[in-house]
A and B are shown apart, each in its own frame.
Chain A
Amino acid sequence: MSDTPLLDELENGPWPSFVTDMKEAAEKKPAARDLMRQLELSYKERVGHWKHGGIVGVKGYGGGVIGRYSDQPAEFPNVAEFHTFRVNQPSGWFYTTKVLRQLCDVWDKHGSGLTNFHGATGDIILLGAPTSELQPTFDELSSIGFDLGGSGSDLRTPSACVGPARCEYACIDTLDICNDITRTYQEQLHRPQFPYKFKIKVSGCPNDCVAAIARSDLSIIGTWKSHIRIDAEAVKQYAGSSLDIQTEVVDLCPTHCMKYDAVAKTLAIDDAECNRCMHCINLMPKALRPGVERGATLLVGAKAPIVQGALLSWVLVPFMKMEPPYTELKALIEKIFDWWDENAKMRERLGELIKREGMGDFLRAVGLKPVPQMIMRPRANPYFFWRDGEVK
């Protein structure tokens, strides 16, 4: 009889089952087998069985490996030590099968044979190896060209949407920006020296397919300045399709800046009023395209709830051109790193520090002037300060 009846139940049903993957790995790897048995125990008892981290790593790095120990090592000896590698993914999560097969070979040799494609931050996760296998694993990873991602109080592995590789909405080269930043800040990525974690994510347009605005301390989101390009012929084709241009596109435009002439089948946009929300372009991708003067909006501060509540990013720079070598962007990133590093308490994210010190202090520190694009509405309380010299 099976010793994992609860997990076995999860092999039923149409969605792919992680239990099947665990069983495949368990045929070759005692660690995968013990992982399953320990997970079955968690399903029975409804609590986890992993101990608190513990510092493990490989030579020359301060992060990139998550230490993990079973709290029942006698029962599950093959996962007594079960540490995880965070491996820096190629920008946009593109792979050749050649490198994926090499990764699998390395991991079959040294680890549990189980992976995550991918962790929520973007890294490839290699799930579970004993301490003695860490350095040999890294050495082989490095020989096939894979480096570690971030963990702990450091720059976390940046990630980007598919961008110009396959998306016509991309207003910036998300993949190149992500790759360039990752390479420029290897020191900050690999050796935790910050007050806490720092995340950078790059989306090519306001659809924000990597959720940069919700989960990165610095969110880089592509946008445009000039007018939306309209293909009049394609508008006519949509007019004859199942799409109702008036009710589904024009009426849902948040700024009411579109006009549709149903007789002539022509569409007009008052671009000065458009806030570039993407709705119309999403619905009529053949007829409407972002403008040609392109760059990014930079926003700061997003984070999940720990410690002081979740935040969404706030606009810092309404528009910045994004061309290699991204000198202006990097100068700003470095000013942000410096101010945060100098002023934050331990485990204080950038957004929390801005809340505590005030947006005004932050803007002065990074040398930016206040502009109305930064706010949804001005303050409603009269408790504001004047600085030295402002009142004569």
Chain B
Amino acid sequence: MAARTDFGPPDFHSMLPPVIQKNYGQWKYHERVKPGLLKHVSESGDELYTVRVGSERLLSTDHVREICDLAEKYCGGYLRFTSRHNLEFLVSDSKQVEPLIADLKGRGYPVGGTGAAITNIVHTQGWIHCHTPATDASGVVKAVMDDLFEYFGAWKLPAYCRISLACCLNMCGAVHCSDIAILGIHRKPPHVNHDVVRAKCEIPNVVAACPTGAIRPDPPNKSLTVNEEKCMYCGNCYTMCPGMPLADAEGDGVSIWVGGKVSSARTPPRMSRLAIPFLPNNPPRWPEVTDAVKNIVETWAKHAHKHERMGEWIERIGWDRFFELTNIPFTEQHIDDYTLATETFRSTPAFRW
């Protein structure tokens, strides 16, 4: 018998709780009742409460079953996840809201992540499951969220602040438009293993994969060479060819980027910019990274106007002032020398001292 293929995902309609099926597209307004609790009201007058809960994203099946127990007890057996790995309990009976929140808190689930808060960190696989990481993902996220925990369940910030992490330049989490992006980077060129290259790699494809033209074929050896001065450690060659690993305990670490946004509210979406070119991998708690992120968050929180996102604040005060207020050293790495670099240079003598 031929196996069934291409039948597609389950139909989402069958996953919607009755209150949503009834009021689909008919929601009129919402209130942010308190951190972690949203109330949506429909044209029909029906109400839906959403309790948002932070999650580690990497869940055991038993943990998923515990979440199911909660959803069955309080939400008729329905729940959803958000685009940032959070969990949402959808409660249609207002009397169940506080008991659910109390139950969640009793079991150690953090309730929050709505409004002017720091919500979950979008992140990737790291050392748990990928072959190209320059840092871990889950461990750094845990350390940073522990350190910023007070901002998850309270509204103490001028606006919300989205933090994301990707463990290499492939950026599976597409972190490049975050208020704060934590990005794993390599700093040493690939160590070429010529036997593996000869056995497993299509040399012309590897040569073509290098964005800086650092790789040359070496026909007498049936292998290739890397011009180390041209290499910017992007790892593209390794994606194409297992004979060119870049991972290195001393070379690898974390860079920090700031000021990106995705929404169009007030100002257009924009990319994050380099704040700190390198911090070492220092597991299990990555103290250099947690300190750096907290410093940036708290400096922004102290100086920004209400509703001003990280990037809007920095554009208003200027990058010169940003580096001064955060005490982050400005280095040669901050000045772009990749293609289109000159767009980032300043063409006006109007700046701040």
What residues make up the interface of A, taking CB atoms closer than 8 Å to B? 6-7, 9-10, 12-19, 21-22, 24-25, 32, 35, 39, 42-43, 45-53, 58-61, 68, 82, 84, 88-101, 103-105, 107-108, 113-122, 127-128, 138-139, 142, 145-147, 159, 161-162, 164-168, 170, 173, 175, 179, 182-183, 186-187, 190, 206-211, 213-215, 234, 248, 252-254, 275-279, 282-283, 285-286, 289, 302, 304-310, 312, 345-347, 376
B63 within 8 A of A: yes
A123 to chain B, nearest CB (A): 9
Residue contact A308 to B339, C-beta cutoff 8 Å: yes
Interchain nearest-CB distance for A41 vs B (Å): 9
In the complex, which of the residues A14, A45, A278, A305 contacts B110, with contact meaning CB atoms closer than 8 Å?
A: A14
Q: Is the CB of A7 within 8 A of B284?
A: yes
B205 contacts A166, CB within 8 Å? no
CA of A234 to CA of B269, assembled, Å: 30
Contact of A90 with B56 in the complex, beta carbons under 8 Å:
no
Q: Which residues of B contact A (CB under 8 A)?
A: 2-12, 14-16, 20, 24-25, 27-31, 40, 48, 50, 54-65, 67-68, 71-72, 77-83, 85, 87, 90, 108-110, 122-124, 126-133, 136, 138-139, 142-143, 145-146, 149, 152, 166, 169-174, 176-177, 205, 208-209, 211, 234, 236, 238-239, 242, 247-249, 252, 260, 262-271, 281, 283-285, 306-307, 338-340
Identity of the chain B residue whose Cβ is nearest the Cβ of A108 in the assembled complex? B61
Residues in A with CB closer than 8 Å to B9 are: 88-91, 146-147, 179, 182
Taking a contact as CB atoms under 8 Å apart, the answer to whether B60 and A168 are in contact is no
Contacts of B123 in A (CB 8 A): 120
List 5 additional A-B contacts (Cβ < 8 Å) besides A84-B129, A165-B20.
A14-B149, A15-B56, A142-B3, A179-B8, A309-B339
Q: Which residues of B contact A182 (CB under 8 A)?
A: 8-9
Closest 8 interchain pairs by CB?
A13-B146, A215-B174, A52-B242, A304-B171, A97-B68, A164-B25, A104-B61, A94-B15
A to B CB contacts below 8 Å, 30 in the list: A9-B285, A13-B142, A13-B143, A14-B146, A18-B58, A18-B142, A47-B252, A48-B127, A48-B247, A52-B131, A58-B3, A60-B5, A60-B6, A89-B9, A90-B11, A94-B12, A96-B77, A114-B60, A117-B59, A118-B57, A120-B174, A145-B10, A146-B9, A207-B264, A213-B269, A277-B267, A302-B174, A305-B234, A312-B270, A312-B271
Smallest distance from the beta carbon of A162 to chain B beta carbons, Å? 7
**Complexed CA–CA distance, A127 and B133 (Å):** 17
- What separation, in Å, do the CA atoms of A48 and B152 have in the docked complex? 30
Residues of chain A within 8 A of B6, CB atoms compared: 60, 147, 186-187, 190
A254 CB contacts on chain B under 8 angstroms: 266-267
Is there an interface contact between A306 and B269, defined as CB atoms closer than 8 Å? Answer: no
On chain A, the residues within 8 Å of B271 by CB distance are: 310, 312
Q: Which residue of B lies closest to A206 (CB)?
A: B264
- For B68, what are the chain A residues with a Cβ–Cβ distance below 8 Å? 97, 100-101
Give Cα A279–Cα B264 distance, bound, in whole angstroms: 8
In the assembled complex, the Cα of A21 lies from the Cα of B38 at a distance in Å of 28
Q: Across the interface, which residues of B come within 8 angstroms of A113, CB to CB? A: 60-62
Question: Whole-angstrom distance between the alpha carbons of A168 and B56 in the complex?
Answer: 29
CA distance A186 to B61 in the complex (A): 28
Contact of A147 among B8, B24, B124, B145 (CB under 8 A): B8
Residue of A nearest to B77 (CB): A97
Q: Are A118 and B129 in contact (CB under 8 A)?
A: no
Q: A39-B128, A306-B236, A309-B340 are in contact. Are A114 and B149 (CB under 8 A)?
A: no
